[in-house]
Amino acid sequence: MRRHRGNMLIDLLVSTFVALLVGAGLVALYFTSTRMQTLYLGQTNVDAQVRQALNIMVDSIGDATAYQTSSSPTQFSSLQAATSNSVTCYTSTAGAYTKYWFDSANSQLKKTTSTNVTTIMVRNITGLTLTYYKTSGSYNDTAANWVTTTNPNAPTNAELKLIGSVKIAATVTINGLTRQFVTLVRMRNSPS
């Protein structure tokens, strides 16, 4: 009988140890699942923020106003300035403008208006590249007739009036995960 009691004690210890291992495994699975869900929701939130900011930028560039930049000869342009990581588009015929630019020091996409108001549109931007396409000067040029400017990421002042579309490529990195968003904007009021 004494020997039988010893077997029950060993069985109880073994079953307790197995139950602890299974419980620890379930707890680890729960925490891993919760952490992955939090990361996924965080990434989805960032994706939504980036898309919203890019949509605002796309709408502003697409709807840029043709502003008279020269009276002799009469010339119009929808863009005031353009570089590889910033673009300034006119928002009124009076010369008001909005500049969208990449602040690489702070990993932010920012917007500055002609009234010198700067706002952060989105954080965690690790890269922004703008590529400019010009037309032959005809408003109704098909996309097949578009070519990049002499320097695809920095048009000359003479090319600004011919810009018909802008390709925007934004890179976002959060929690070690990198995503790239690319869109092409057709400008409605350019070229003149």
First vs last C-alpha separation in the chain: 104
- pLDDT, residue 139, reads 58
Q: What b/e readout covers 94-122, taking b as 16+ CB neighbours within 10 angstroms?
A: eeebbbbbbbeeebbbbbbebeeeeeebb
| pTM for this model (two decimals) | 0.73
Task: Label the pairing between strands 108-113 and 125-134.
Answer: unpaired
User: For residue 163, which of 172, 173, 154, 176 has the smallest C-alpha distance?
Assistant: 154
Tokens of 30: 């729960």
Q: Which amino acid is at 22?
A: V
Averaged over successive runs of 10 residues, the pLDDT of the chain (192 residues) comes to: 64 87 89 75 71 92 86 81 93 92 94 94 92 76 75 89 90 82 83 49
- pLDDT, residue 100, reads 96
